[in-house]
Amino acid sequence: MVSDLLRPGVHRAQELLDDRAVVCAILAVEDAWVAAQHREGLVSAEEAAAAHAAVDRVGTDPHHLRELVTASEGGGNPVIPVLGAYRRAVEQVLGRPLPAVHASLTSQDVMDTALAHLLSSVRRRVVGDLTRAGDALAELVRRHRGTPMVARTLTQHALPTTFGLKAAGWLAAVDDAADEVSARVRLPLSCGGAAGTLAATVALVSGTAPGAQSSAQGAAHDQPLDPTQRLLHHWAGQLGLEVPDAPWHTTRTPVVRAAGALAEVAAALSRLANDVLLLSRPEIGELREPTAPGRGASSAMPQKQNPVLSVLLKRTALLAPGLASGVLAGAGAAVDERPDGGWHAEWPALGELAELTAAASSHAAELAEGLTVDAPRMARNLADAGTGVLAEPLAVALAPMLGERGADTARQLVRDAVRAEPHDVGALTERLAEAVAASDGAVAPPGVDARSTGALAAWLRPLTDPRAHLGAAPQLCDRAVARHDERRNR
């Protein structure tokens, strides 16, 4: 694992997927399996209680974790050493070995199910923080639905828009990402046994497998598949997971979907971060990140306040595609009935992606909740953008007045006028009025003399107010907020 010093901010989510979390997830899965067998009458209450009490006997302090990390090399996965420690703990509590521990399971059943258990916590954390971010963004959209600013396309000034509409774009992406995580970061239970046939589990419930030899009296079943499925549902219920239609040892669709949803979160939050990074530049100054003691400081320049939350969000977005591709590569390498390395490659990639995404969701919530919007600066920047931001709406307004080729003529007239008067709106209006008055066959709106420069200028003047060209921006803001509110109330 890369040093956490090289992954600033990841401490916000580290407890979700660190070594202790993995060990605890494996233990929870093994404990739940014994509990499920008890519900099916295969294990006594005493044995189930002993198995549960033994969980706390397995060491998860740094010393024991290091031992487990080292021992995991022997079998290529952490389940085997954790299982060994758990079996010893059960024997200490019960006074004898308990064959029901891990009975009929394989290490991949436990590891995949433990991963599902871990990702359930990640899902809840990410969705919770994205919901916080969405609530804060929705409030920005409401407040600034009519706050004018200059829109920028391909790095250049374009048209008037509103800050509310920009924030509505962030909101839509965050809401969509939250929905994707909620739907797709849901790995089901994994149970197929050694080769994906559930043969040992079928034998277990019929009382012929070693794990069924306990002090509990198991019932005989004429239809062994029915109690097998019932046992799996008991297990899944203990862990809050779903039972899949079939084993997925080498059908890695659940893992691929989870990685895709997490990567989508990173991309959605990067859109927010990129805009904040741009608009918080001193020469633009339209937005400011929230401050906190020690945040954004420079080691050399005491005056600086760096937008660190956005920097970390962008960092995560740059890493996410590579991590997601690592999961895809591992999934695509699956072969036979059990993978020979592809499965193992998924863990670090998916774990890193989940950890970074969970931290990023927390960063985004804090950013959205504390973002400062400088509306007067937005208005000044819009004014300073000059007459060019009015070019398209003026050309659209003039086109009907200029005959069959009115659209082309209007664009040319406006282009020439903007180039001649890039900053003075009044001079632009006079120049356009003169050009229209000099045009052959110009047809003015009712009540306006097409040959009168003064009349044409008076008609054009209201069209030079940027607020007259916001289009449906306020209504689009309202729709984005309504969609968010509907999602929150689902």
- d(C-alpha 88, C-alpha 167), whole Å: 56
- d(C-alpha 189, C-alpha 245), whole Å: 10
Q: Which residue numbers are catalytic?
A: 298, 338
DSSP 157: E
Burial of 461 (0-12, 13-18, 19+ CB in 10 A): middle
- d(C-alpha 338, C-alpha 340), whole Å: 7
Distance from the Cα of residue 74 to its chain's centroid: 35
- d(C-alpha 480, C-alpha 474), whole Å: 10
Hey, what are 196's tokens? 């994906």
Cα–Cα–Cα angle for 63, 66, 68, rounded to 5 degrees = 110
**Residue 482 three-state SS:** helix
Phi/psi of residue 96, each to 5°?
-165, 160
Burial of 359 (0-12, 13-18, 19+ CB in 10 A): buried
Phi/psi of residue 88, each to 5°?
-65, -40
Residues 6+ apart with CB under 8 A from 331: 252, 253, 255, 256, 342, 346
Burial profile 136-155: b = 16 or more Cβ within 10 angstroms, e = fewer: bbbbbbeebbebbbbbbeee
Residues 6+ apart with CB under 8 A from 174: 130, 133, 134, 137, 268, 269, 272, 364
Hey, what are 393's tokens? 């709406």
Instruction: Please report where in the chains the tokens 């080498």 appear, as a residue.
Output: 250
Instruction: Quote the longest CA-to-CA distance of the chain.
Output: 106
